Structure 1
Amino acid sequence: MEFKKFLTAIDKAVPDELDVHLVCDNLATHKTPAVGDWLAKHPRFHVHFTPTGSSWINQVERWFAFLTDQLLRRGVHKSVAALEKDVRNWIKTWNDDPKPFVWHKTAEEILDSLAKYISRISDAGH
């Protein structure tokens, strides 16, 4: 129901003459019958779902991956307090020197790579 409330809030906030495009993960709450009915009655809403297993596209997921790779896997934390201190220090360092994320491939290259991957796993006989 929270997602439906979110959709209603967007519907009220965005001028009627504009289409609304939403990029969502494949969370089950985004695909309930109630949400489907609501979307059917609001054709200006276009929902685009990210592919399953595509957390690399989500910038928050990327940030957690950096945290994991740069601190958690490399560190030895003797207590929860030590872990918390190290995480807070890592975040402070990250925030003190922010840098934009730079994609190293074009959108077309990424989509081609994704299509090849999907083809490979769908042909795997599972």
Structure 2
Amino acid sequence: MKAGLVKRARIVLLAADRQANHEIAARVGASRTTVIAWRNRYLSAGIAGLEDRDRPGRPRQVDHAALRPPPKRLGVTQWSSRLLAGQLKVSHKTVTRAWKAYGIKPWKAESFRFSADPELVGKVTDICGLYLGTNADVPANAIVLCVDEKSQIQALDRTVPILPMQPGAMIRTCGWPSAG
């Protein structure tokens, strides 16, 4: 069930319990005006009045299959919101809202990468199937090994503590990991 519909139903139920509009607004996290509007829609149309209405304008559509690394002709290695917006034929605000909603930060190299491998989806599916045990092709006593491919960094415990985080910064350490 949609969260908006649940909130509207709570407004109507609290109104049926004879709660004041300002009390309902405080309890459901809405404005008093919103509470009045949904109460009026319920009175005029019943339960059907709580459903979303069609909105004017063209529907929002982003073709997620069109998300690929930037073409070489652009001379960049990562998308900017304006470049990606032009590729998807949406506004750059739509791109930045989507990035924010999904926690994507393409300007931080440590957190965002595109793979050029055309078989990536199949490979990721196989690996996840191994970890989750859902891949039917896995032999009964298979062992999963993970290898860290970062150069010059060993997959061992760090000898120094992690530095405190600054707002908006990635976790960083103040030294290389120990050699053993």
TM-score, scaled relative to structure 2: 0.16
Larger radius of gyration: 2
Structure number having the greater strand percentage = 1
